[in-house]
Amino acid sequence: MAGPAAKKAQEQGLGPCRSTYATVFRMISPAQKKALRTATVDPQRVVVRTPDKMGMPVAAVRSSATFSESDLGSYTLEYLKNGWYITD
């Protein structure tokens, strides 16, 4: 969820995502954190680009809280080394 803010922090010279993510995670509201624990994905809104590459728009996330593009962002997921990873 905090990916867009972490990416922006890295671009501004605050360090790589792994070191800044804890700080960015504190920016998420308690209600949003709770909602993400039970969030699901609407598979009809996922964009299949290839069998091992998917586009995951924020519109695919179903949760009790409302999230915007600036909250969650949209990501490209790729199946690499026996797991799904965010690659873009």
Angle between helical axes of 3-11 and 17-25 (0-180°, round to 10): 130
Residue 24: give the domain boundaries.
3-86
Report the candidate in 49, 34, 37, 57 with the shortest Cα–Cα distance to residue 79: 49
Q: Is the pLDDT of residue 1 over 50?
A: no
State pLDDT tens for residues 18-75: 666 666 667 778 888 899 889 999 999 999 999 999 999 989 989 998 888 877 778 8
Asked if 32 and 71 count as a contact pair (C-beta separation under 8 A), the reply is yes
- Res. 88 pLDDT band, cuts 50 70 90: low
Six-digit token string for 73: 């962002």
Q: Are 31 and 40 in contact (CB under 8 A)?
A: no
| Total domains in the fold of the chain | 1
pLDDT at residue number 42: 94
Q: State the pTM of this model.
A: 0.63
**pLDDT at res. 60:** 92
Question: Which range, 5-9, 38-42, 79-83, has the best average confidence (pLDDT)?
Answer: 38-42
